[in-house]
Chains A and B, each alone.
Chain A
């Protein structure tokens, strides 16, 4: 029997990037995976459900569907997110701000809320089998210079929201943990504007050079962190910030560009 067999996981934004890599790793570890994304998944991991993280109705429908089809809920990875352009404090509009917060911050808020509802309803399958919520923040939730203004605000929100959720679940003795993951630069579609501007290889080298480790991450390198947090191997870890950033926040930072070079 594999480590996560009998467990059901929802991965938002699971059609690409960190979400897709996490979905695959969770499935390889034995979990039944539901990929929830606004765009259709191509590689056929798990069961795909069209889902808009900003819509409460969409969350209600997703939860009802998963509880009916898969019968339970153990793991939710709140991964869906957007970079939201390149706006700085002077150029970001209220509309741009609100769009980014709706996806990156409100989307994670709703994800935590409905994760708890689903996990409470179905309960731990076995005493040692616990619920886990994994929220994807960013190094932009830890330091400045790593993203546009609205993105930075949203990732700071996710970082602290995660702690509130973790403590609430601990206090209520729900056996649900909640942690945030803070990746550095990962080769995903979030960098598409940069790839389009300077080309994929050149862009990757440019961002990579700003990490002490000298390169960008591949999505599975963050997926492994998600898998660890989703599994009981991290059973005493809750409300924590797990950083996977090639060393970027460890010292004097070689800053990521606020805009494409």
Chain B
């Protein structure tokens, strides 16, 4: 039996990277995927490619009204909502000295506020659908610091912790909704394209990033999507409020 049969999953940042890989996997496992993204062109193209079990909806994760529309649109189209992947995010470089307050706020608004608003928006629909699973993409930089990513570290630390709050709140309220965070290492997605082409010392950005991981290479979006699939499915039914790490040994 497919692992997500008839399950409806809303994916923020679904047009590319980990979000897109997860949307594809959801369909392969018998579920329906709503690709919600700011990038209409890419999002619509992916939804068209995936066919009748996929839908594109425009979403700016920092706007609460957008989230309401995305949840309503999802339920109207597929009749329920069982899974949410908060994959939308930005990776901004910048150490504590070069990062401006504006940069700090922008990164935290998208990565942290955006994920909170996603959790908040789906809870009523998930309750009505009999329960569900929320997966928030944090990062290895939500577990360890990086000197070049002050705002990003802060935003992912926030996601790591409020994920636990959401998990505990839903458990206490007996909503049958679980919530976990996923902490990927460096994954070959559009988010890190800029870093790959940099030169760091006598290494290319790619080599430098690859060497951070004991496994000796970058991760692929599918490898993270497989972990997300486990968390979205019933297989992880006793896991909530937990940090799932997918990092090629980086934090080991």
Residues of chain A within 8 A of B156, CB atoms compared: 160
Q: With the chains together, A204 CA to B168 CA distance in Å?
A: 23
Contact with B64, one of A94, A143, A144 (Cβ below 8 angstroms): A94
Nearest-Cβ distance from residue A94 to partner chain B, whole angstroms: 6
Q: Is the CB of A144 within 8 A of B96?
A: no
10 further contact pairs, Cβ within 8 A, besides A56-B101, A152-B164, A157-B112: A101-B108, A106-B108, A112-B150, A113-B96, A144-B168, A152-B161, A157-B154, A160-B158, A164-B148, A239-B145
Q: Quick one: closest B residue to A255, CB to CB?
A: B168
Nearest-Cβ distance from residue A70 to partner chain B, whole angstroms: 22
Q: Is the CB of B101 within 8 A of A165?
A: no
Q: Is the CB of A153 within 8 A of B116?
A: yes
Residues of chain A within 8 A of B104, CB atoms compared: 106, 109
Q: Which of the candidate stretches B22-30, B72-80, B117-125 sits at the interface with the other chain? A: B117-125
Q: Is the CB of A97 within 8 A of B116?
A: yes
The answer to whether A109 and B150 touch (CB under 8 A), given A89-B119, A98-B113, A239-B145, is yes
Task: Mark each residue of chain A from 55 to 90: 1 if its CB lies under 8 Å from any CB of chain B, else 0.
Answer: 010000000000000000000000000000000111
Q: With the chains together, A152 CA to B215 CA distance in Å?
A: 33
How many chain B residues sit at the interface, stated as a range, is 35 or more
B234 contacts A by Cβ under 8 Å? no
Q: With the chains together, A109 CA to B152 CA distance in Å?
A: 12
Q: Is the CB of B96 within 8 A of A153?
A: no
A105 contacts B by Cβ under 8 Å? yes
Q: With the chains together, A255 CA to B150 CA distance in Å?
A: 31
Residues of chain B within 8 A of A113, CB atoms compared: 96-97, 99
Residues of chain B within 8 A of A112, CB atoms compared: 96, 150
Task: Mark each residue of chain B from 164 to 182: 1 if its CB lies under 8 Å from any CB of chain A, else 0.
Answer: 1111111010000000000
Within 8 A of A (CB), among B136-173: 141-142, 144-151, 153-162, 164-170, 172
Within 8 A of A (CB), among B215-234: none
Q: Is the CB of B117 within 8 A of A144?
A: no
Q: With the chains together, A47 CA to B227 CA distance in Å?
A: 54
Q: With the chains together, A95 CA to B141 CA distance in Å?
A: 27
Q: Is the CB of A157 within 8 A of B157?
A: yes
Contact with B154, one of A92, A144, A160 (Cβ below 8 angstroms): A160
Q: Is the CB of A160 within 8 A of B157?
A: yes
Nearest-Cβ distance from residue A140 to partner chain B, whole angstroms: 7
A156 contacts B by Cβ under 8 Å? yes
A159 contacts B by Cβ under 8 Å? yes
The answer to whether A144 and B145 touch (CB under 8 A), given A157-B108, A163-B153, is no
B241 contacts A by Cβ under 8 Å? yes
Contact with A161, one of B119, B153, B241 (Cβ below 8 angstroms): B153
Specify which of B99, B149, B150 lies most central, judged by the most chain A CB atoms within 10 Å of its CB.
B150
Q: Is the CB of B161 within 8 A of A141?
A: yes
Residues of B within 8 A of A (CB): 64, 95-97, 99, 101, 104-105, 108, 112-113, 116-117, 119-120, 123, 141-142, 144-151, 153-162, 164-170, 172, 241
Q: Which of the candidate stretches A31-39, A166-174, A186-194, A207-215 sits at the interface with the other chain? A: A166-174
Contact with B101, one of A106, A116, A147, A154 (Cβ below 8 angstroms): A106
Q: Is the CB of B147 within 8 A of A149?
A: no
Q: Quick one: closest B residue to A170, CB to CB?
A: B147
Contact with B108, one of A105, A162, A170 (Cβ below 8 angstroms): A105
Nearest-Cβ distance from residue A93 to partner chain B, whole angstroms: 9
Nearest-Cβ distance from residue A121 to partner chain B, whole angstroms: 13
Residues of chain A within 8 A of B142, CB atoms compared: 156, 160
Residues of chain A within 8 A of B168, CB atoms compared: 144-145, 255, 258
Nearest-Cβ distance from residue B183 to partner chain A, whole angstroms: 12
Residues of chain B within 8 A of A168, CB atoms compared: 95-97, 147-148, 150
Q: Is the CB of B112 within 8 A of A90?
A: no
Q: With the chains together, A258 CA to B172 CA distance in Å?
A: 10
Nearest-Cβ distance from residue A123 to partner chain B, whole angstroms: 16
A130 contacts B by Cβ under 8 Å? no
The answer to whether A149 and B162 touch (CB under 8 A), given A144-B167, A160-B154, A160-B156, is yes
Task: Mark each residue of chain A from 110 to 130: 1 if its CB lies under 8 Å from any CB of chain B, else 0.
Answer: 101100110000000000000
Q: With the chains together, A166 CA to B116 CA distance in Å?
A: 27
Specify which of A147, A156, A258 lies most central, judged by the most chain B CB atoms within 10 Å of its CB.
A156
